[in-house]
Amino acid sequence: MSAVGIAEIEEIKRRIRICDFLVVAQLFLQDNFLLKRELTYDDIKPRLLGHWGTCHGINVAYANLKNYFKNDTDFSFVLGPGHGFPALNANLWLDGELAKIDPKATVDEEGLNYICRNFSWPDGFPSHASPITPGVITEGGELGYALANAYGKCLGHPEKTIAVLIGDGELETATAIDSLNLKNLLNGNNNGKVLPILHLNGYKISGPTIYGRKSERELNELIRGFGFTPIWINGGNAEDFRKALNTEEITPFYILKTEKGYGGPNRYHMAHQIPLKNPKTDTNELKILEEWLRSYRPEEFLAVLFGKEQENVQ
Ligand SMILES: Cc1ncc(C[n+]2csc(CCOP(=O)(O)OP(=O)(O)O)c2C)c(N)n1
Ligand SMILES: [Mg+2]
């Protein structure tokens, strides 16, 4: 496939911006989702529960992969860190996938309000991916199985390509690291292709990851030792992503390097879960939250989005 064009880069960036905004809106807001007026304490959910830190990286991977594989109906995406559910749900909502199984999740203002209000909410969406999420058959809280699932899905299906996003903390689990050996079982023409993507954001909950602390050379050698070719992708860059996906290497292993919580408010942005604890009672935090939400310029893309109604926004 060719290099990524300027228009496509703009589309990818816009999609990431929409989804990042939707993540923050789901985590914090119970009203005023489109910021049509100034935020007030009443707009904030009473109990803040969900995961911020991993979400931007998921949105980057989702947008770039979706753009690249848009004409391949045999492509699928497996998401390891199920705690990144607000990002997954944002993408599924945007594409109208959620509306197929949940008629209230329409791709319009009402549907947006619905997914935001009901995230991590009694009788609403849980904080992690779960069987009510399209394409999810397990509870998404346990790390380690993504890669093995993808290899299993490819077994006997040469037409399939499956990209798997694996957290760098997740790769510390015995299940995940040992699953790299499955590559040796799936060689040949009878099986599909798995594209592992390590989400190297350097942290797992509040601690550093082992892979984040290894030198680039050490990590490359580890990956080569499993028989893969390491290919690095700078998180924010669509050209790098496209170049990486265009590789002619037969066994690529992608390393998507992002800053945990990229785009979040200063000082708090690396938070694994909620970066601002008290926007419901603290004026300063409420102000930071409002600036953060407005930094995605929701009024620009939402006008375009709802102008298009149900159309698939690439
Ligand atoms: C098997 C297992 N062990 C521990 C946990 C607890 N846990 C939840 S999230 C998390 C950190 C995940 O870090 P990483 O895979 O790097 O994801 P990200 O940084 O993208 O959030 C851990 C250890 C878990 N969910 N599953
Ligand atoms: Mg991590």
Say which CATH number the domain at 163 has: 3.40.50.970
CB of residue 173 inside a 6 A radius of ligand 1: yes
pLDDT of residue 308: 56
Please say if the pLDDT value at position 269 is more than 80.
Answer: no
Residue 45: pLDDT band (50, 70, 90) is very high
Contact 253, 229 (CB under 8 A): yes
Q: Using the mean position of ligand 2's atoms as its centre, give its distance from the Cα of residue 271 in Å.
A: 11
Q: Is residue 105 in some structural domain?
A: yes
CB of residue 205 inside a 6 A radius of ligand 1: yes
Pairing between strand 75-79 and 161-167?
Answer: parallel
CA pair distance 113, 29, nearest whole angstrom: 9
Please say if the pLDDT value at position 30 is more than 70.
Answer: yes
Q: Is residue 312 in some structural domain?
A: no
DSSP conformation class of 122: T
CA pair distance 215, 211, nearest whole angstrom: 8
- Residue in 150, 113, 118 with CA at minimum distance from that of residue 33: 113
Please say if the pLDDT value at position 179 is more than 70.
Answer: yes
Cα separation values, 193 from 109, 171, 196, 270, 311, Å: 38, 20, 10, 33, 30
Cα separation values, 280 from 66, 86, 285, Å: 36, 20, 8
Q: Is residue 171 in some structural domain?
A: yes
Q: Is residue 119 in some structural domain?
A: yes
**Nearest listed ligand to the Cα of residue 127:** 1
User: Looking at residues 288-299, what average pLDDT do you find?
Assistant: 95
Cα separation values, 132 from 99, 124, 183, 246, 266, Å: 12, 10, 31, 34, 34
Q: Is residue 60 in some structural domain?
A: yes
CA pair distance 130, 115, nearest whole angstrom: 15
Considering the entire predicted model, what is its pTM? Answer: 0.95
Q: Which residues, 6+ apart, have CB-to-CB distance to 99 below 8 Å?
A: 93, 105, 106, 107, 111, 310
Q: Is the dihedral of CA 280, 123, 130, 14 positive or negative?
A: negative
CB of residue 169 inside a 6 A radius of ligand 1: yes
Indicate which residue's Cα is closest to atom 25 of ligand 1: 142
Question: How many structural domains comprise the chain?
Answer: 1
Q: Is residue 17 in some structural domain?
A: yes
Pairing between strand 207-208 and 203-204?
Answer: antiparallel
Pick from 9-18, 101-110, 180-189: least confident: 180-189
CB of residue 251 inside a 6 A radius of ligand 1: no
Q: Using the mean position of ligand 2's atoms as its centre, give its distance from the Cα of residue 281 in Å.
A: 30
Q: Is residue 154 in some structural domain?
A: yes
Q: Is the dihedral of CA 226, 229, 234, 235 positive or negative?
A: negative
Indicate which residue's Cα is closest to atom 17 of ligand 1: 167
Indicate which residue's Cα is closest to atom 11 of ligand 1: 204
CA pair distance 21, 29, nearest whole angstrom: 11
Q: Across-strand partners of 75?
A: 161
3-state secondary structure of 230: strand
Query: What is the residue whose two structure tokens read 């199984």?
Result: 101
Q: What is the overall mean pLDDT for the chain?
A: 93
Please give the share of the chain, as a percent, with pLDDT higher than 70: 97
Backbone angles phi, psi at 133, to 5 degrees: -90, 130
Q: Is the dihedral of CA 73, 74, 75, 79 positive or negative?
A: positive
Q: Domain range for residue 287?
A: 6-307
Q: Is residue 52 in some structural domain?
A: yes
